């Protein structure tokens, strides 16, 4: 019996202090997550001058776009270029590491001309992304989010352990854990709200933390998932430098012809031995998130690897669905609205948990004060009695 009490006490203290320490962090992540659910739509509404263009004729070759970029930004090196998903969308080129000053340059696909640029944290949508993903601290914040997800997972599981009724609990006890009962005082109300806010969205909360681990620690996650499913990760592509790389437009044409689909991104080689890569998607991407990554040898002009998620095994499918599950990209507007509400759960949990803890502390102090006063009175009477003797 004593061991059971110790275990419960340890779980309670772990849940309490993780909640107090991580509470504000969890609230910030939740609220920014809610705002980012419709972030792209808001960004498009606020910044049409960068993200919208006039459709006029055919798109110019990618080499023209990149030449105009180099002319405007001669000292900068592009990491990749995103293709527009709509006919009136603009190209966006990313430059530099993941930090607040990371630059995005926007170009017109039909003229190839530079429209403008902005830093990652220099606009509302980018700032919210930088806060949510990087905690305003670049790669260090990204890594901290991974460890934060581990600790929040522990907090959620200890909360579940504390919520779970004992083996002898009847139906009425189980039912009470799923509802809020009014008229029982503020402490009981806060306790019920905290329980309900934790148990109903628990599956989604765990999805958010576990998918975060895949984002932050992709290699470890893939090794674990592939080991469980008996799959082998695709080998890293390394090319042998052979003089001058082939023309960019020719490389794009070769890769585009190798597999049907819509070009969504072209990533430029990060070193002389790295391939040029192309990401392709299909019109049903918003439904199943299928995509393909093509690696092209820029010297030989050959496609050396194609990773097509339509042919992927279970392990790769699990990894593939981390993004839609985390961001609510799998059920249309109703699911997005649900995710907005889910992002507010940490706020409700933190407020009710903190408030309930403060009331418990105050009540404990009052009890301790009364006991101390009672002991003092008893001691005083005993002393008075001894004087009478």
CA dihedral for 119, 125, 128, 132, sign (positive or negative): negative
| DSSP class of 275 | P
Q: What is the mean predicted confidence (pLDDT) over 83-93?
A: 96
**What is the rounded average pLDDT of the residues 197-217?**
96
Is the model's pTM score more than 0.75? Answer: yes
Mean pLDDT of 266-287: 90
Q: Please tell me the total number of residues recorded for the chain in this structure.
A: 389
pLDDT tens for 177-190 read 899 988 888 999 99
Residue whose pair of structure tokens reads 């190839």 in the numeric block: 112
Half-sphere exposure of 273 (CA within 13 A, CB side): 4
pLDDT of 386 above 70: no
Helices (H), 164-313: 171-176, 186-199, 202-216, 218-229, 248-258, 285-288
- Token readout for 154 is 């522990």
Banded model confidence at residue 8, pLDDT cuts 50, 70, 90: confident
Given a cut of 60, is residue 1 above it in pLDDT? Answer: no
Residue predicted with more confidence, 310 or 375: 310
Helix H or strand E encompassing 78 = strand 78-82
Q: What is the mean pLDDT of residues 86-101?
A: 92
Burial class (CB in 10 A: 0-12, 13-18, 19+), 54: exposed
Please report the domains of the chain, with CATH numbers, ordered by start residue: 2-212 (no CATH), 232-312 (3.10.450.40)
């Amino acid at each position: 019996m004593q061991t059971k009490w110790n275990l419960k006490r340890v779980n309670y203290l772990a849940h309490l202090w993780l909640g107090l320490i991580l509470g504000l962090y969890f609230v910030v992540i939740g609220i920014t997550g809610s705002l980012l659910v419709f972030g792209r739509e808001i960004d498009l509404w606020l910044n049409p001058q960068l993200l919208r263009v006039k459709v006029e004729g055919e798109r110019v070759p990618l080499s023209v776009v990149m030449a105009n970029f180099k002319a405007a930004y001669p000292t900068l090196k592009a990491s990749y270029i995103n293709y527009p998903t709509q006919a009136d969308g603009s190209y966006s080129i990313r430059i530099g590491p993941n930090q607040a000053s990371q630059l995005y340059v926007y170009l017109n696909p039909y003229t190839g001309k530079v429209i403008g640029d902005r830093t990652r944290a220099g606009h509302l949508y980018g700032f919210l992304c930088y806060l949510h993903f990087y905690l305003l601290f670049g790669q260090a914040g990204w890594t901290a989010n991974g460890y934060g997800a581990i600790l929040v997972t522990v907090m959620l599981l200890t909360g579940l352990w504390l919520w779970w009724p004992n083996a002898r609990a009847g139906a009425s006890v189980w039912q009470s854990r799923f509802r809020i009962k009014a008229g029982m005082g503020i402490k009981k109300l806060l306790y019920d709200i905290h329980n309900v806010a934790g148990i109903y969205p628990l599956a989604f909360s765990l999805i958010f933390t576990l998918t975060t681990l895949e984002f932050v620690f992709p290699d470890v996650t893939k090794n674990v998932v592939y080991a469980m499913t008996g799959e082998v990760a695709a080998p890293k592509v390394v090319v042998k430098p052979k003089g001058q790389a082939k023309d960019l437009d020719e490389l794009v044409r070769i890769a585009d012809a190798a597999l049907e689909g819509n070009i969504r991104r072209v990533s430029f080689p990060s070193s002389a031995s790295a391939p040029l890569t192309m990401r392709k998607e299909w019109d049903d991407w918003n439904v199943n998130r299928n995509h393909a990554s093509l690696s092209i040898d820029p010297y030989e002009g050959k496609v050396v690897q194609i990773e097509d998620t339509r042919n992927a095994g279970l392990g790769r499918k699990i990894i593939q669905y981390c993004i839609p599950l985390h961001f609510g990209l799998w059920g249309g507007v109703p699911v997005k609205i649900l995710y907005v509400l889910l992002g507010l759960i940490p706020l409700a949990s933190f407020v009710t948990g903190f408030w309930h803890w403060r009331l418990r502390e105050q009540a404990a102090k009052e009890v301790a004060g009364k006991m101390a006063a009672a002991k003092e009175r008893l001691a005083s009477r005993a002393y008075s009695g001894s004087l009478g003797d």
